[in-house]
C-alpha cells in the first residue's frame, strides 16, 4: 500500500509518499480501506520531531480516518467487510489501509460522504470527552471556545449548541467569526482587536462562563481563569503558546475553579472505546439528522501532504484539513 511517512524530522521535517506492507488485523481489530484522513496539530508536532508518539503506535502520522472495512480480525462481531466507518487511532491514518481496534470505530451515516467523514472522529472525541467529561458541561451553562474556527472548535460549538449551552468563541478574523455564528455561537470575539475577558464579562453581565475550552495554553492561563464564573472549569487541550504560564492562585481559590486538561492520543484502547461508545449514542444521531456536520476546509492528495501541514501551521483554515489517497 501507499502511505505518507516522515522521512526527515525536526523543525524542517519532510513528508513523502512511500510503499509499505498492508496491515493485517489481530483479534479485536479491523482493517479500513481509507477514503480520507484528518490532519491534526499532533501530526505536525510529530513531523517536527516532537516526542508525542505513544509506545507501540504506528510511526506513520494520522489519528483519524474514514473508509470501508476490508478485513475483520477474530472476535469482531460488530463490523463486517463493506461497512462504511470512521475511526480514531494512535497513528497510521496517512495510508491507503489502516488497522484499528474495533471499539474505536463508528458507522458513517449515509448522509455524510466517506471523505468528509474523516473530519468527524478526532474532533467529536476531543470535544465530547473534554466538554462533557472533564468540563461537566450541561444545559444552561455558558462556554467559551478558543480557536472557534478550528476543527475541534467548530465541533465544540455545534455540540454545545445541541446540549442547550450558550456559546462564545474567539477567532482571528471576520470570516472565521461568521462561520462560528452560523454554527451557533451567540457572540464571537476577535482576539487580535478585542479583550475576550472584557467581552465575556459584558456578554454575561459580569457572571463569566462556566467552561473554557482552551488550545492556547500559557499566554491565556490567567485570563482564562478571570473569564470563568464561580465554580467554573478551565479545560486545556492545546498549548500553542507554550506550557509554562503564570497564574494568580488567589483567583482560583476565590472562585473555586477547576483547572484541568487532557490529550486523546495517549489514552488506552479501553478509554477510547468508552468515548466512542458515548459518541455513537449521543452525538451520531445529530450527525445523521444533519444537526451536527463535518466542517471541511480543504482536501489534499497524499503527494501534497506537506502543503496540508503548511496550511495547518498557518492557522488560515476553517474546520478540518483532509488527505485523500489519490
Q: pLDDT digits over 208-264, tens only?
A: 999 999 999 999 999 999 999 999 999 999 999 999 999 999 999 999 999 999 999
Q: Verify that 67 and 99 share a domain, yes or no.
A: yes
pTM given for the model: 0.96
Q: Verify that 229 and 183 share a domain, yes or no.
A: yes
159 phi/psi in degrees, rounded to 5: -65, -40
Q: Verify that 100 and 113 share a domain, yes or no.
A: yes
Its domain, for residue 185, covers 123-261
C-alpha pair distances (Å), 232 with each of 155, 170, 253: 21, 18, 11
Q: Check residues 9 and 72 and name the one with the higher pLDDT.
A: 72
Q: Which residues contact 161 (CB under 8 A, 6 or more apart)?
A: 167, 183, 184
The one-character DSSP state at 304 is G
CB burial readout 85-110, b (16+ within 10 A) else e: bbbbbbbbbbbbbbbbbbbbbbebee
Q: Verify that 142 and 91 share a domain, yes or no.
A: no
- The CATH number assigned to the domain holding 165 equals 3.40.50.720
Query: How many domains are there within the chain?
Result: 2
Q: How far apart are the C-alpha atoms of 123 and 4, rounded to whole Å? A: 22
Angle at 63 between CA 168 and CA 30, to 5 degrees: 130
N-terminal to C-terminal alpha carbon distance within the chain: 12
Q: Verify that 86 and 20 share a domain, yes or no.
A: yes
Q: Verify that 86 and 133 share a domain, yes or no.
A: no
Q: Verify that 9 and 96 share a domain, yes or no.
A: yes
Q: Does pLDDT of 9 surpass 90?
A: no
Longest Cα pair distance anywhere in the chain, in angstroms?
60
- The CATH number assigned to the domain holding 306 equals 3.90.180.10
Give the domain-ending residue among 231, 261, 291. 261
Give me the percent of the chain exceeding a pLDDT of 90: 96
Q: Verify that 127 and 254 share a domain, yes or no.
A: yes
Q: Verify that 104 and 180 share a domain, yes or no.
A: no
Give the domain-ending residue among 243, 261, 279. 261
Residue by residue, DSSP assigns 39-107 as E-HHHHHHHTT---PPTT--SS--SEEEEEEEEE-TT--S--TT-EEEEE-SS--SBSEEEEEGGGEEE
pLDDT of residue 186: 98
Give the domain-ending residue among 209, 239, 261. 261
Q: Which run of H or E residues covers position 7?
A: strand 2-8
Q: What is the pLDDT of residues 91-131, one digit of tens each?
A: 999 999 999 999 999 999 999 999 999 999 999 999 999 99
pLDDT of residue 10: 78
Amino acid at each position: 500500500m501507499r502511505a505518507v511517512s516522515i522521512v526527515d524530522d525536526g523543525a524542517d521535517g519532510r513528508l513523502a509518499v512511500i510503499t509499505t506492507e498492508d496491515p493485517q488485523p489481530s483479534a479485536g481489530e479491523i482493517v479500513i480501506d481509507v477514503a480520507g484522513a484528518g490532519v491534526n496539530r499532533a501530526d505536525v508536532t510529530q513531523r517536527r520531531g516532537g516526542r508525542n508518539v505513544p509506545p507501540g503506535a504506528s510511526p506513520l502520522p494520522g489519528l483519524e480516518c474514514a473508509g470501508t472495512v476490508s478485513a475483520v480480525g477474530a472476535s469482531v462481531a460488530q463490523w463486517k467487510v463493506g461497512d462504511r466507518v470512521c475511526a480514531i487511532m494512535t497513528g497510521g491514518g496517512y495510508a491507503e489501509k489502516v488497522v484499528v481496534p474495533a471499539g474505536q470505530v463508528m458507522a458513517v451515516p449515509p448522509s455524510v460522504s466517506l471523505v468528509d467523514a474523516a473530519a468527524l472522529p478526532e474532533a467529536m472525541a476531543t470535544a465530547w470527552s473534554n466538554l462533557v467529561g472533564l468540563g461537566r458541561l450541561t444545559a444552561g451553562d455558558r462556554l467559551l471556545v478558543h480557536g472557534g474556527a478550528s476543527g475541534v472548535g467548530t465541533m465544540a460549538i455545534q455540540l454545545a449548541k445541541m446540549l442547550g449551552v450558550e456559546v462564545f468563541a474567539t477567532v482571528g478574523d471576520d470570516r472565521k467569526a461568521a462561520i462560528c455564528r452560523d454554527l451557533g455561537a451567540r457572540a464571537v470575539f476577535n482576539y487580535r482587536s478585542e479583550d475576550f475577558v472584557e467581552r465575556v464579562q459584558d456578554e454575561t453581565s459580569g457572571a463569566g462562563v462556566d467552561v473554557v475550552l482552551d488550545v492556547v495554553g500559557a499566554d491565556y492561563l490567567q485570563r482564562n481563569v478571570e473569564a470563568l464564573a464561580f465554580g467554573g472549569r478551565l479545560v486545556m487541550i492545546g498549548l500553542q503558546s507554550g506550557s509554562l504560564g503564570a497564574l494568580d492562585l488567589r483567583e482560583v481559590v476565590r472562585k473555586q475553579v477547576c483547572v484541568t486538561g487532557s490529550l486523546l492520543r495517549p489514552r488506552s484502547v479501553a478509554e477510547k472505546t468508552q468515548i466512542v461508545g458515548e459518541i455513537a449514542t449521543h452525538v451520531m444521531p445529530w450527525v445523521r439528522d444533519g444537526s451536527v456536520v463535518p466542517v471541511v476546509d480543504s482536501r489534499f492528495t497524499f503527494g501534497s501532504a506537506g502543503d496540508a501541514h503548511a496550511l495547518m501551521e498557518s492557522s488560515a483554515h476553517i474546520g478540518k484539513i483532509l488527505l485523500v489517497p489519490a
